[in-house]
Structure 1
Amino acid sequence: MKNDINYRHLYYFWVVAKEGGITRAAERLGLAVQTVSSQLTLLEQALGKTLFSQQGRRLVLTEAGRLALTYADQIFLLGEQLQEALNEADSGRTRLTVGISDSLPKLSAFRMLEAAMQVERPVRLVCYEDQFEALLADLALHKLDVVLTDREVRAGATLKVFSHQLFESEMVVVGVPALAQRFGADAHDGDTFPANLNGAPFLLPTRNNALRGKIDEWFVQHHVRPDVVGEFEDNALLNTFGRRGLGLFFAPAALAGEVAEQFGAVLIGKVPSVREQFYMISNDRKIKHPAVEAMLAAVHKGALAAS
């Protein structure tokens, strides 16, 4: 195998893999199908590996092709980011690409990102939402600058990413006023919080959420038997159902004011023993992005501190 890789040929391979076939790749590249096919053959000869196999009318990546694609992703996505960074340098803005875990309360995400928007140089914020594991993979590939989430990376994880706790908050139980009248402590003869929650309809995170185990344990400890009417992976959807009065739900105490304003939810009771942590995940121990540094500075000043 030659030591030199023709990156133009590698780029053609990358486009073919992304487009799912040579014909569509040729259309995207503005080249003849024969040209793309021959360049792909030259790349395979140079690497000494077959990158695609033919299955019917479809091209399917081989094991070597899948491995090559992971590296091509990093090469060409970084190239695209380079071009974007150069363009934004001319515009006077700094790009911050953030992955937001779908289980993270959106008000919490806003609280964390608010400080990043206050830096001297204007920030262009680009946010993506996905599942925790998918975001970590994108972070490792440098598709993202940071990930905001409600859990830290497990010790011994194979990905070289690092957790930075931004803040934590005790939780509160909230609900629309109609539910508060039905299930508040004042509505139950002699029952105090949380005994008044027995039989109350609840909207909870799914069991793969970091917070759910803590909530379930709290219910057991206080002998509360809720009527779980809904479980949600997406926190925004959970809050939407809560706003419609379909159940009580948990919210960070640090955001109680925003929750009341945005969702019309009032306080049912405080749950200090159940606390939610909020993390920023980076692919380097040392944060260098000015907007991210501003977020960490806000943490040190206590601007994000919760009760």
Structure 2
Amino acid sequence: MSNLNYKHLHYFWTVAKAGSIARASEQLHLTPQTISGQISLFEEVQGEQLFKKHGRNLELTEAGRLVLGYAEEIFSLGQELEEVLHHRPTERTVQLRVGVSDALPKALAYRLLEPALKLPQTLRINCREGKLESLLADLAMHKIDVVMSDSPMPPTVNVRGFNHLLGQCGISFFATAALRQQYPAAFPACLEAAPLLLPGEDAALRSKLLHWLDAQQLHPRIAGEFDDSALMSAFGQAGAGFFAAPSAIADMVMRQYDLIQVGQTDDIEEQFYAISVQRKLTHPAVLAISRAAQQDLFGNVASNRSSPHNSEG
């Protein structure tokens, strides 16, 4: 934007959050006419209509939603600056805005992010979950710092970014002890005709798992499909079926859900990525995540080189 007036931006931000000029005028202790005039001037300078009327209230236009996203960040940083100056004069809070693909197992997402909590600096994590394409759009607009995913950037996404491999591992299968007793054959034969819980279509593991079952000539009964890995684990805990998860978090899955590990295979390999707009990772929290993933969580990544995604936006 050119000639940005931060007072006008603050008026816009207040109206957008309040939903009407009348409510915003009460909060700002200004007349509705004053605010309305300032908003109109702001729109005129920016060359975009930011609000449209909806009954007695105002709704944001597409341009308005874009401006609101930046306004939220600007005034959030302003508030943080005040807190640092008044309460923490010698310490700067490190903010990590991370997008977590909804296909990434929740337990693994936590294990990946956990090292950032051990930084000597005070850390504030803003964690956003969603579809990978949506998170990549936020990354391109600098609304988030990094995206954690179980797959690299799709070649069809028109965003310039870089895939940083965090690690790779095989998968393990889990079940309750009672369900395992019902299907006592050795692994993987125990999966034949057994109830199986599958990850959703967005998960990279799903297609690999189905191909592996075909190769093993196994025909389990699909008892459920889940976009949310935590919900799938909860159903597994209830005995609804066998399910698979990355071997890197096998101990955590067994402990958290009181399950047993039925078997493990490296024929199915999952890879996990940090996706950023930088060729080289620089954020201290993301660097801590990357180091811990490669050295401790996975421990089998020979190189930390990043691979570029060639599409540019």
TM-score by length of 2: 0.82
Partner of 1:283: 277
Q: Tell me the distance in 1 between the aligned counterparts of 2:100 and 2:10.
A: 30
CA contact (8 A) 2:13 2:71 kept: no
**2-structure distance, mates of 1:281, 1:181:** 42
Indicate the SS of the match to 2:244: strand
How large is the Cα RMSD of the aligned pairs? Answer: 2.7
Could you list the runs of 4 or more consecutive aligned residues of structure 1 that deviate by over 6 angstroms after TM superposition?
Answer: none
Q: 1:223 to 1:25 in 2, by over 3 A?
A: farther
In 2, distance between residues paired with 1:112 and 1:104?
A: 11
Alpha-carbon separation, structure 1, partners of 2:124 and 2:46: 40
Tell me which residue corresponds to 2:121. 121
1:304 and 2:297 aligned: yes
Paired with 1:281 and 1:262, the residues of 2 have a C-alpha distance of 28
Q: Provide TM-score, normalisation by structure 1.
A: 0.84
2:246 corresponds, among 244, 248, 252, to 252
Gaps of 5+ in 1: 186-191
Q: 209-218 or 74-83: which moved more?
A: 74-83
2:306 corresponding residue in structure 1: none
Alignment correspondent of 1:74: 70
Contact 1:166 1:280 in 2 (8 A): yes
| 1:168 CA drift (Å) | 1.2
Hey, what does 1:132 align to over in structure 2? 132
Moved more, 33-42 or 72-81: 72-81
1:87 and 2:76 matched = no
Q: Could you say if the C-alpha distance between residues 267 and 3 of structure 1 is closer, same or farther in structure 2, counting changes exceeding 3 Å?
A: closer
Structure 2, unmatched stretches of 5+, are 301-313
- Deviation of 1:250 after TM superposition, in Å, equals 0.2
Deviates more, 1:46-55 or 1:287-296: 46-55
SS at match of 2:282: coil
Name the CA distance, whole Å, in 1 between partners of 2:170 and 2:258.
Answer: 20
Cα deviation code 1:214-238 (max 9, x no counterpart): 1111122222222111111111111
- Residue matched to 1:21: 20
Aligned amino acid, residue 109 of structure 1: A
Cα distance, 1:4 vs structure 2: 2.8
Q: Is the 8 A contact 2:103 2:200 kept in 1?
A: no
**Equivalent AA in structure 2 for residue 70 of structure 1:** L
Match of 1:221 in 2: 215
**2 CA distance for matches of 1:3 and 1:203?**
53
Show the counterpart of 2:39: 40
Change (3 A) 1:48 1:245: closer
Task: Answer with 204-213 or 192-201: which moved more.
Answer: 192-201
**Greater CA drift, 12-21 or 249-258:** 12-21
Partner of 1:176: 176
2:193 to 171, 189, 199: 199
Return closer, same or farther for 1:158/1:14 CA change in 2, 3 Å cut-off: farther
Corresponding position of 2:8: 9
Residues 1:77 and 1:109: Cα distance change in structure 2 (over 3 Å): same
SS at match of 1:99: strand
Following the alignment from structure 2 to structure 1, what is the Cα–Cα distance between the partners of residues 281 and 293? 14
Identify the range of structure 1 (129-138 vs 240-249) with the bigger mean alpha-carbon deviation: 129-138
Q: Secondary structure at the match of 2:261?
A: strand
CA 1:292/1:50 → structure 2, altered by over 3 Å: closer, same or farther? closer
Residues 57 and 105 (structure 1 numbering): CA distance in 2 closer, same or farther, change over 3 Å?
A: same
Give the deviation of 1:82 after TM superposition: 4.9
Q: Which piece of structure 1 moves more, 239-248 or 12-21?
A: 12-21
Residue 211 of structure 1 aligns to a residue whose secondary structure is: helix
Paired residue total: 296
Identify the range of structure 1 (156-165 vs 241-250) with the bigger mean alpha-carbon deviation. Answer: 156-165
Structure-2 residue corresponding to 1:143? 143
1:55 CA drift (Å): 4.7
1:202 match: secondary structure: strand
- Could you say what secondary structure the match of 2:296 adopts? coil
Return 260-269 or 23-32, whichever deviates more: 23-32
Structure 2 distance, partners of 1:110, 1:257, is 14
Are 2:104 and 1:110 aligned?
A: no
